Amino acid sequence: EKRCVQGYNLSCIMILPSKQREGYGKLLIEFSYLLSKKEGVPGSPEKPLSDFGLLSYRSYWRRAIYEILLAMHADSTSPAISTDELSRQTGMTVDDIISTLQTDGMLQRPESSSASYSISVDIDKISDYVDKARQKNPRRIDPTKLMWAPYLTKATFGAVSNAAAAATGVTNGVSNSVQSSPAADDDEASAGELSV
């Protein structure tokens, strides 16, 4: 969904009855989150979800989170991950991540009430789930093939312009360096012309 104030990344999915249960719904869900990741803004589906919508989204959320947890487990150098980092890697909102982890009984609060929650992972369980999900629904989107640029608002354009200026030394479209150009036969060329 474009420019949604509520932060929705998808309004509605309609799969024709003859194509249902073939993985196209999850493919569209995955695509919406790929766009959210590309924008750098976490997204969520328009609420309230229908019963089938909730089942599809929960299944997608679970698979996306589990795949990251498995990859993290395989890379033993990163033993911890935050919900914010999960959000950044999946494109999902922190609320949807927490909801999924709570539903799966993976959020644990230590005895001390002042301590924060932790994610309790049963690697065998999530590995089995991901393997079955990959067999059941092998259709995936290759993120490297996405040729799309996010819509730039004045606020995002300003942030992008400032970041580009800092990286390249160009401010407000004009280079900070002055290059001289030969005046030759062109009366309009000046010796102190600014490069853009």
In this model, does residue 167 exceed pLDDT 80? no
Q: What is the pLDDT of residues 27-63, one digit of tens each?
A: 999 999 999 999 888 999 999 998 988 999 999 999 9
pLDDT at 123: 92
pLDDT at 168: 46
Q: What is the pLDDT of residues 114-146, one digit of tens each?
A: 668 888 889 999 999 999 999 988 888 898 998
pLDDT at 192: 34
Residue 184 pLDDT grade (very low, low, confident, very high; cuts 50, 70, 90) = very low
pLDDT at 182: 40
Region 7-26: what's the mean pLDDT?
86
Token match 């479209």: residue? Answer: 173
User: Catalytic residue among 39, 46, 67, 85, which?
Assistant: 46
> Would you tell me how many other CB atoms lie within 10 Å of the CB of residue 171?
13
Which amino acid makes up residue 77?
T
Residue 23 pLDDT grade (very low, low, confident, very high; cuts 50, 70, 90) = confident
pLDDT at 191: 36
In this model, does residue 69 exceed pLDDT 80? yes
Q: What is the pLDDT of residues 80-112, one digit of tens each?
A: 888 999 999 999 999 999 999 999 999 888 777
Report the predicted TM-score, pTM, of the whole model to 2 decimal places: 0.72
What does the DSSP 8-state code read for residue 152?
P
Q: What is the pLDDT of residues 186-196, one digit of tens each?
A: 444 333 332 33
Structure tokens at 4: 């949604």
In this model, does residue 170 exceed pLDDT 70? no
For the question of residue 46 being annotated catalytic, the response is yes
Mention every residue, 6+ apart, whose C-beta is less than 8 A from residue 136: 23
pLDDT at 113: 65
- Of 155, 177, 157, the C-alpha closest to 168 is 177
pLDDT at 3: 65
Burial class of residue 18 (count of CB atoms within 10 Å of its CB; 0-12, 13-18, 19+):
exposed
